[in-house]
Each structure stands twice: as C-alpha cells, then as structure tokens.
Structure 1
Amino acid sequence: AGDPEEWLDVLGNGLLKKKTLVPGQGVESRPQKGQDVTIRLKATLEDGTVVEEDPALTFTLGDCDVLQALDLCVQLLEMGETALIVSDAKYCYGVELLAARDAPDLELLSGKEKIQLANRKRERGNFFYQQADYVLAINSYDIALRIVGSSSKVDFSPDEEAELLDVKVKCLNNLAASQLKLDHFKAALKSCNLVLEHQPGNIKALFRKGKVLAQQGEYREAIPILKAALKLEPSNKTIHAELSKLVKKHADQRNVETEMYRKMLGNPSTASTPRKCKDKLPWSIPWKWLFGATAIALGGVALSVVIAARN
C-alpha cells in the first residue's frame, strides 16, 4: 500500500483513506459543495477486479448522489488531481477530477430539465430507502422537493406542470414512509397532509396517515382514514389487515377506558342500590363530561411518569 505517510486518513478512523497519485492545480482549485463535478472513475476490488468504470461521471457534490466515499473524497481533490481512495467497503477508487461547475440556476431550468433533475434526486432517495438508510433517503427527497418547489422564470406547459406535481406527490409519499420508519410522526403526518391537499384520494397518503395516527394511539381518528383508503381500493390486503388490527386495538382501548371510569367513579352494585336513587348515581353524569374529567386525570398521570423518567 506504499508509505503510510502518503495516505490521508479522511475520517480519522482508518476506514476511508486517500492517496494522491498525480498532483492537481492547488488547494484553491478544489470543488465546493453544491457544484456539479465530473470525474474519471475506476472502481476495483482488493484483488484488482474492476467492478465499475466511468470516464466522465457527473454528480452534485454533497447531495449524496454517489457513494459516500466518493462524495467525501472528491471534496478533497484538486482540479486535475488523480488519487487512489480505499474505503472500508473493500473498494478501491482511482479518481481524477476533470471539472467542477456551479449547479444550474433552478429558476432558468426548462420544465423537462427540472423534472429530470428532481427525478434523479428522488430515485437516489429510493436507493437509500431500499438500503434502509432512511436519513439519507430523507435528504434526497428534501432536495428533490426543493427543486420542484423552486420559483421559475420559464413558462411550463400544462403537461409539465402535471408531471412536476406527480414528482412532488411521489417525493412527499416516500418522505412520509422514511419519516415513519424513524418514528418522526409529526413530520410524517405533515408530509401526508401535503399530499392530501393536492390529492385527497391518494391511497398511499391515506394509508400512511392512518398508520401515523395509529402509532400515536389515535385509533378513533385513524380508523375512518383507513376505511376511506380501503373504499378506494377494496382489494388492498395491506390496508385491510391494518384496519382490522386497529379496530381490535380500539375496542381493547375502550374496554380499558370503561373499566378505568368505573374505578374512578366507584362501582355501585345495582343489587344493593335502591331503584329510586338510580338517577342520582354517578352513571347518570353525561359521558361527554366524563371524558373531559378523565382526560385531566390522565394528563396528571402522564406528567408524573415524565417527571419520574427524568429523575
């Protein structure tokens, strides 16, 4: 591997190293995050087997468009520099920085160009999602949404507007799925609601909104949303299974609540209570009032748990 002093330990833990083979044009020629860079790439295994070769690979630096080893190390390359990069994934990269230019002005992109760019970021997000790397997936979907939502000085055709909306909806739905995987319920709910603002009958958004609410224990709100999704697609077994599960959980929850109300208000025996006093028993109190009182009591219990946890 040569003189250890020739290697730059990029992460400081030996997992990613870079060695200059051909010097570049100086530190000031290094590319900046957000620029589109073009590199000559040759990727090999440790035994020298070539697994990827590209004479002009172009990507946006810092957007996670490529493997992280490349994204990090290309930021350290000088223009014209050729370097060897060794990563923990047992790949070696022979890389030469060919060009770096500012990313295109989003306001000046044509409808077709904006759609292509947003879709490229969305597809990268899908790649990360399949790898179960939900943080990077969210990052890619956010970039795609920023592209779609950017203002424009160019007029788009109705078809292009419709296609941009389609990309936006796909990104929001995928964003919600990633956020749900990370238990970011508030953010996932917001993403679902943004989809439903554009497409109230979007089945994926309805399903995920129902799941988010269910995860938060809001079964009463989640059930009708999942019913609406199932009505739109009665053959969807996933929605049917989720709905059946929630209906059972809601029933169990109500049984627990009912028992709790009984304990709070006492459990009078109908056998020992005179009939003439029936209307004066606590059970004659309106249920609406009971729910309010119980909510206050539950709040007190929850607060106690939080305080205990912090101690």
Structure 2
Amino acid sequence: MFCTQIIKPGNEDSFKPNRSDICRITYEVKIKDGGHIVEKRDQVKIYLGDNEVLQGLDLALTLMHEGEECLLQISPRFAYGETGLKTGESLGLVGEIDGSKYEGPAIGPETWLEARLELHDWKEEPEHETLPIAERMEIGTRRRARGNWWYGRGEAQLAVQLYRRALDVLDESDGGITDPTPSGELTPASDALKALLDERIRVHNNMAAAQLKAGAYEAALQAVTRVLQCQPNNAKALYRKCRILNAMGRNSEALEAARAAAAAAPEDPATKKELQRCEQKANRDRSVERRLAKRMLGTSDQPKGSSPDKKPSRTKMLVWGSFLLSLLVGVASVIVYRYKIQSH
C-alpha cells in the first residue's frame, strides 16, 4: 500500500490521529484498472485501529492530517487478502448490522485496489463510563458485527480484536448488572442494562468461537464460562464449551457439556452430532482402559474353551519339564542305589 497523490493538503499544524481515536472520513474504493466501485461511504465515523475499514485505509489515516485528501494504491494484503471477495458476499460495512452485499466482479487474491480517502476531522475516544447506555450499546453492537465479518472470512485474530473492543464499551459501570446472586438469579436492573448484558453475552460467546479457532483454548474457556455464569442453559455456550474441552483433551468434561447442550437444545443437529462424537470417544477410552487394566493384572480376554495364548503355554511347558526332570532324577537315583548293592 502506498500513497500516489495528495489531492488536498491538510492542516499540517494539527496532530495526526492515533489508535482508538474517532475519525470522520469519506472514502471510495475501486478495483484498480477495472474502475468498478467496491465500497463508498460519506462522512462515516470509525475508531482508528479497530479494522472497521480495510486495513489499507486504517493504516493510511495514521499518516494523514486533518482535512487531507489523498489517492491510495492498496495491495491485496491490506485489502481483501487471499480470501478475496465474491459477488453477493457481505462487505461488512461498519454501522450496518445486516451488511451490504458486493455486486461487482470477483476480487481475487492478487487484485489491487485504488482508494480516494479524506480525513475530515478526528477526536479522542471518550471514557466509556461517561457515555449513555444507548450509545455504548450502539458501539458494542457495531464492533461485534464487524468481528463476525472477520470471523466469517477466517480471520480469527482480527475477530477477537473486535470482540475485545466491544467488551471494552459493554462491560459494567457503576450501577450495572454484575454477577448472578447465589440463587443464580440476576439482580434487578433496567431494561436498558439487561439489553447491554445480553449483548455482552453474545460477544463473549462469539469470542469463544474465534479463540477456539485461533487455538487459544484457555482464553476461549474463560469466555464461555462467563456466558454460563449468567445463562447456565445457554445451548450455544455449552456446545462451544464441549468443543473447547475436547480440543484440550478433557474428554469426560466435554461429554458432560455435550449432554447439557443436548438437553438445552434437543432438536439442534450440530449438538446431537457433537454428543454422539463425545459418547463414541468415551466408549473408546473405556475400552482402552479395560485392556490396560487386564494387562497390568495379567488376566486374559480369552473365553473358556478357547485356545490358550503363548503365555499360558510356556507356563505349562515349564511345569511338565520340571516334573519330567524330577522323574528322571528319581529313576537315576534308584539305578545307582541298586548298582551299589550288587557291587557289595
């Protein structure tokens, strides 16, 4: 990625924005040499460094002054990567929960893009505790939606980054819902705070899936545990807990979680399949344990009347050998004794 032209200089006396600053931008992204418009947004607000826009745009903004407009050439690495973008796929535009669909020709892993980018202004991110609940909800939801987009593209690490940023603004402040009471019930709260809790639970659940995909099993287990603390019968969380425990080799705990998930969502095919897989693994584990125990105790799996294995055959031969040796020694003793009598 590199800047090919500064279309309009910015205020060079102003500072450049930093990570997490709120930037108000206008941009248009086209396929280089093709001219087809991929994305176009006007006066949109983004949080710098959150990958709410293409990485090429995100990086370019850190080098721009307020009011600057430039033309960029964006390499595939900082655009749609090796996955590319197919016709009909979601663009994952920030602020759009459902997501606009791409309607142009397929963008391959080697497709360069051209972007026109303008930084109107920027400001520092405020303390989350000072924001109204409705605004915190809006920010957290948009970050979750963008994280889902990255997760769907196989970018688990970028998804985790967005989910963590969502939790930054959704986590509790004074007067909010904290932990369940000893009875398992949540403390009384307003509808707005309950909605905030529900959104936070969705983010933790999604983050557990992304961390599992990234191989961060301990972190994934912590995320799913937070969900189950508030919603013990959350089928999605129980299913993901099962998969996480399986990946960690904790098979008996995984089976317990799978049974709980199946009880919470008895008609869900994925949950049924996971339970069957766990039960089959448990049966294999028990079979292996039985074989090991019998080997340690020296017992045999052979049924009565069947041919003995090699170990009993050797024992039997040794017994017969000892018996015959004793018999021969006895006969020899008698012969020697008679010989001596005749000599005298």
Q: Which amino acid aligns with 1:80?
A: G
Q: Residue 29 of structure 1 aligns to a residue in which SS?
A: coil
Q: Distance in 2 between matches of 1:198 and 1:174?
A: 15
The change in CA–CA distance for 1:260 and 1:153 in structure 2 (over 3 A counts) is closer
Per-residue CA deviations over 1:42-84 (Å, capped at 9, x if unaligned) read: 2222232333322312100111111111111111111122111
> How big is the alpha-carbon RMSD for the aligned residues of Structure 1 and Structure 2?
2.3
Report the count of equivalent residues.
257
Query: Is 1:93 the equivalent of 2:115?
Result: yes
Residue 28 of structure 1 deviates from its aligned partner by 4.7
Q: Distance in 2 between matches of 1:215 and 1:153?
A: 38
Query: Is 1:34 the equivalent of 2:20?
Result: yes
The change in CA–CA distance for 1:42 and 1:110 in structure 2 (over 3 A counts) is same
The change in CA–CA distance for 1:154 and 1:26 in structure 2 (over 3 A counts) is farther
8 Å Cα contact 1:138-1:179 kept in structure 2: yes
The change in CA–CA distance for 1:67 and 1:95 in structure 2 (over 3 A counts) is same
Q: Distance in 1 between matches of 2:176 and 2:233?
A: 31
Partner residue, 1:146: 168
Q: Which amino acid aligns with 2:141?
A: N
8 Å Cα contact 1:108-1:153 kept in structure 2: no
**Aligned mate of 2:269, from 237, 244, 247:** 237
Q: Distance in 2 between matches of 1:146 and 1:81?
A: 30
User: Given the two structures, how large is their TM-score scaled by the length of structure 2?
Assistant: 0.70
Q: Residue 46 of structure 2 aligns to a residue in which SS?
A: strand
Q: Distance in 1 between matches of 2:175 and 2:252?
A: 46
Per-residue CA deviations over 1:134-168 (Å, capped at 9, x if unaligned) read: 00000000111111115258999611111011011
Structure with the greater alpha carbon radius of gyration? 2
The change in CA–CA distance for 1:55 and 1:131 in structure 2 (over 3 A counts) is same
Partner residue, 2:256: 224
Per-residue CA deviations over 1:253-288 (Å, capped at 9, x if unaligned) read: 1111221222233336998xxxxxxxxxxxxxxxxx
Partner residue, 1:53: 40
| 141-150 vs 195-204, which moves further | 141-150
The change in CA–CA distance for 1:267 and 1:29 in structure 2 (over 3 A counts) is same
User: Given the two structures, how large is their TM-score scaled by the length of structure 1?
Assistant: 0.77
Q: Which amino acid aligns with 2:125?
A: A
Q: Residue 192 of structure 2 aligns to a residue in which SS?
A: helix
Q: Distance in 1 between matches of 2:258 and 2:37?
A: 50
5+ residue gaps, structure 1, are 1-15, 272-311
**Aligned mate of 1:67, from 54, 60, 68:** 54
Q: Residue 21 of structure 1 aligns to a residue in which SS?
A: strand
Per-residue CA deviations over 1:220-278 (Å, capped at 9, x if unaligned) read: 2222221122112211111111111111111111111221222233336998xxxxxxx
8 Å Cα contact 2:176-2:189 kept in structure 1: no
| Superposed counterparts of 1:203-282, under 5 Å | 203-267=235-299
* Structure with greater helix share of residues: 1
8 Å Cα contact 2:176-2:193 kept in structure 1: no
8 Å Cα contact 1:107-1:154 kept in structure 2: no
8 Å Cα contact 2:258-2:278 kept in structure 1: no
8 Å Cα contact 1:108-1:152 kept in structure 2: no
The change in CA–CA distance for 1:152 and 1:95 in structure 2 (over 3 A counts) is farther
**Aligned mate of 1:169, from 192, 201, 217:** 201
Q: Which amino acid aligns with 2:296?
A: M
Partner residue, 1:298: none
| Superposed counterparts of 1:263-302, under 5 Å | 263-267=295-299
Q: Distance in 1 between matches of 2:282 and 2:14?
A: 63
Q: Residue 49 of structure 2 aligns to a residue in which SS?
A: coil
Q: Distance in 2 between matches of 1:50 and 1:243?
A: 47
| 66-75 vs 229-238, which moves further | 229-238
Q: Which amino acid aligns with 1:74?
A: L
| Superposed counterparts of 1:71-220, under 5 Å | 71-89=58-76, 90-151=112-173, 158-220=190-252
% same residue: 30
